[in-house]
Every structure is written in C-alpha cells, then in structure tokens.
Amino acid sequence: MKRNVIKLTACFLLLCFAFSFASCIKSDEARNMAEQMFACLSEGRYEDALALCHPASGITEASELESLVKQVNEYYEVDVSEGIVIDKVTGVKSSAYNTSVDGSAYQMNMSLLVGETKIASYIIIVKNDDGFGVAGIHFE
C-alpha cells in the first residue's frame, strides 16, 4: 500500500513537471519568431509583423511598427531595409510560468547587424492563452 502511494505520487509529480515544460518556449521557437519579425520589419511588411505581435505588446496598428523602424533608422543612422540579422545571442531568460503574462516568457538578448552597424537589442516572446508572439522589442 505504501509503495503504491509513493509510485502514484512520483507519477503525479512527473506529469506536473512534464506539463509545465510542455508550455515552455523553446530556444529555436524564439529565434525563429525573432527572425520572422526582423524579416518583416526590414522588408516593410508591417501588417505581417503586426500579426506576429502578442496582445501583451500593446501594439494594435501596423503604423506603430513602421514608426519604430523610422526611429531605429534615424537614431542609429542605418537603413533597416538592408536587413536585420541576429549576429550573436548574448543571453536568454526563460520562464515556464511568468505571472505578469500568465504564461511562458522568453527574453533573448542579442547583437544585431543592420548593414554593418551592430546594435544591442532584446526581444521578449510570450506564449499563453492569448497566443504566441512578440511582446516587445528593445533597441539599446
């Protein structure tokens, strides 16, 4: 009897552990999402970029993303239409459950190349009941 209780408890804990990580954002998912977003922004496909945004981003119009690209172009004196390439991932933060988004969150810090200019940046990706998408892009 005691062994059965221990076995059932162990099975329950393993199932809980497995389900908590099933909803985690994997690094390849996050990188793919980031690359898709940067491709859309550099190609001027702002409606497609908007579709990649998570509701938590607060971005509701494609013009907001167009404005972001203009700001990056002006501030860094670059031309985003040359492409945005992830040069190097410099760090990640991942959580299976984040209370502020009521789901999984993944932050990827990176060095980007826009033309020949390096720009430090990070992107936040969220997965919860509202969907899977980019919740924020920050250029430092």
Q: What band does 7 get if pLDDT is binned at 50, 70 and 90?
A: very low
pTM of the model: 0.83
For residue range 65-112, list pLDDT tens digits in order.
Answer: 999 999 999 999 999 999 999 999 999 998 898 888 899 999 999 999
First to last CA, the chain: 60
Is 25-139 assigned to CATH 3.10.450? yes
For residue range 11-64, list pLDDT tens digits in order.
Answer: 444 444 434 444 689 999 999 999 999 999 999 999 999 999 999 999 999 999
Which residues in 86-102 are b (16+ Cβ under 10 Å) and which e? beeeeeeebeeebeebe
